[in-house]
């Protein structure tokens, strides 16, 4: 039996694995490779048979003991083994325990009981500020309502539904087939009543037997403060109608936040850039900065360098859990180099540069007349004042 894989290896368990671990491993493999899930797939069928054979041995204490002692020889008549015929095994107990969703005897998958309706998905667009502070939006979509003529029964007024003769009102039928494991029973939804257990003989002329009619409706949506792009708002009981008296599904609205020309968002923080003049950067003073709350005043320190980042606490996005708790607003200050200077402005800048010891080209150095840099390159001062 050298061509057979070790049973423990087949199930992917350790040789000291307990019964629960072996059972769980087989359940996963059997569900993965069951022939009903892969019709016509010979490879899947072979793997399913291999896993079932391994489980049949390792789940039985006596057979497992024989296998641990003699290996595969215990079941082929060798090494003193009595031999074991897998083709005659009855796997019905195993299947009823592990696959109630697929086989008869405790099936749980199909039922004609009440079932919740499907959810409906849609989207709504909001501005950056609307997402930050919350808003009310109204959308229009098609929803199903109970038919006023038949009151949701689907049957013509004066008539009633009848019990499905194919499934006897159970909503499911049992299909029996033969496989190499013996007789297998598959539970499927009844094709006549589609799982409801009842048949409509005379259908309502207004809803055509569905029990519902479609209408365009306007739905008001409360967008919470702090919501981000791609997040969803759930509105209960605005989805598809339930089945057999079950509750309606929900309406899931994806929020799409428009881009802002100035602000960028990262979680609950906001990032932006603000220009300041050369004089404001050098001398300091008040600058006006745009925020989602409007314009705010900020005192710039003297000697502020370009790309300096400042933090405005509590000026970011409100959090979803508590709109009174907000992120911060980070502002990058960008020094604007003056251009198009008049002759008078250039003269004043040269005087300023000389008075500050050549700070524009040689910070902290002696007062000198600005000169060209190495290899004819222009200094910062030259870039500002240009050539006369």
Cβ distance 312 to 252 under 8 Å?
no
Q: Torsions phi, psi of 318, nearest 5?
A: -65, 145
pLDDT values of the chain reduced to their tens digit, one per residue, 388 residues: 447 899 999 999 999 999 889 988 988 888 888 776 777 788 888 888 888 888 888 988 888 988 888 888 777 654 444 444 544 444 444 454 444 444 444 444 445 667 788 999 999 999 999 999 999 999 999 999 889 999 888 899 999 889 998 888 888 888 776 655 556 667 788 888 877 788 998 999 999 988 899 999 999 999 999 999 999 999 999 999 887 778 889 999 999 999 999 999 999 999 999 999 988 998 999 999 999 999 999 999 999 999 999 999 999 999 998 999 999 999 999 998 877 788 887 888 888 778 776 654 444 444 444 444 445 544 445 555 555 5
d(CA 313, CA 328): 5
The pLDDT assigned to 206 comes to 92
Do residues 140 and 271 touch, judged by C-beta distance below 8 A? no
What whole-number distance in Å separates Cα of residue 192 and Cα of residue 186?
17
- CA distances to 281, 357, 371 from 386, rounded to whole Å, are 21, 19, 12
| CA pair distance 130, 109, nearest whole angstrom | 44
Q: What is the pLDDT of residue 12?
A: 93
Residue 358 pLDDT: 60
Alpha-helical (H) ranges within 286-387 are 343-355, 380-385
In sequence order, which ranges of the chain are alpha helices (DSSP H)? 7-11, 19-33, 42-58, 61-70, 92-98, 128-133, 278-283, 343-355, 380-385
Phi/psi region, residue 57 (left: phi>0; alpha: psi -120 to 50; beta: rest), is: alpha
Task: Say whether 319 sits in a helix, a strand or coil.
Answer: coil
Answer whether 57's CB lies under 8 Å from 65's CB.
no
Which distant-in-sequence residues (6+ apart) come within 8 Å of 308 by Cβ? 332, 333
Whole-number Å distance between alpha carbons of 86 and 81: 14
pTM for the whole structure: 0.58
| E strands present in the chain | 120-126, 135-146, 162-163, 172-179, 182-189, 198-199, 212-223, 232-235, 251-257, 264-266, 269-277, 285-291, 294-300, 308-312, 329-336
Q: Looking at residue 370, what is its pLDDT? A: 44
């Amino acid at each position: 039996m050298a061509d057979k894989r070790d049973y423990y290896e087949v199930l992917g368990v350790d040789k000291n694995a307990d019964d629960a671990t072996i059972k769980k491993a087989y359940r996963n493999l059997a569900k993965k490779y069951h022939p009903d899930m892969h019709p016509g797939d010979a490879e899947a069928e072979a793997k399913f048979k291999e896993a079932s054979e391994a489980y049949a041995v390792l789940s039985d204490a006596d057979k497992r003991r024989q296998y641990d002692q003699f290996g595969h020889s215990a079941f082929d008549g060798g090494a003193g083994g009595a031999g074991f015929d897998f083709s005659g095994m009855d796997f019905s107990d195993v299947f009823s325990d592990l696959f109630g969703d697929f086989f008869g005897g405790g099936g749980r998958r199909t039922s004609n009981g009440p079932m919740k309706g499907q959810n409906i998905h849609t989207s709504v667009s909001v501005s950056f500020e609307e997402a930050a502070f919350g808003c009310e939006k109204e959308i229009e979509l098609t929803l199903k309502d109970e038919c006023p003529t038949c009151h949701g029964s689907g049957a013509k007024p004066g008539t009633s539904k009848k019990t499905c003769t194919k499934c006897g009102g159970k909503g499911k039928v049992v299909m029996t087939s033969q496989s190499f494991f013996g007789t297998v029973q598959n539970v499927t939804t009844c094709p006549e009543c589609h799982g409801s257990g009842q048949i409509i003989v005379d259908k309502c002329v207004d809803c055509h037997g569905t029990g519902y009619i479609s209408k365009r409706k306007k739905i008001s949506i409360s967008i919470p403060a702090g919501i981000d792009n791609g997040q969803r708002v759930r509105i209960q009981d605005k989805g598809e109608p339930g089945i057999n008296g079950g509750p309606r599904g929900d309406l899931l609205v994806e929020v799409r936040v428009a881009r802002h020309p100035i602000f960028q968002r990262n979680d609950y923080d906001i990032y932006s850039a603000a220009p300041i003049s050369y004089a404001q950067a050098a001398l300091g003073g008040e600058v006006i900065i745009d925020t989602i709350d409007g314009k705010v005043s900020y005192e710039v320190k003297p000697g502020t360098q370009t790309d300096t980042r400042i933090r405005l606490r509590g000026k970011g996005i409100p959090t979803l859990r508590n709109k009174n708790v907000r992120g911060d607003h980070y502002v990058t200050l960008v020094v604007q180099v003056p251009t198009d200077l008049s002759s008078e402005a250039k003269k004043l800048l040269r005087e300023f540069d000389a008075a500050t010891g050549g700070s524009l080209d040689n910070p902290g150095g002696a007062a000198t007349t600005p000169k060209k840099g190495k290899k004819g390159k222009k200094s910062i001062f030259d870039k500002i004042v240009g050539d006369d």
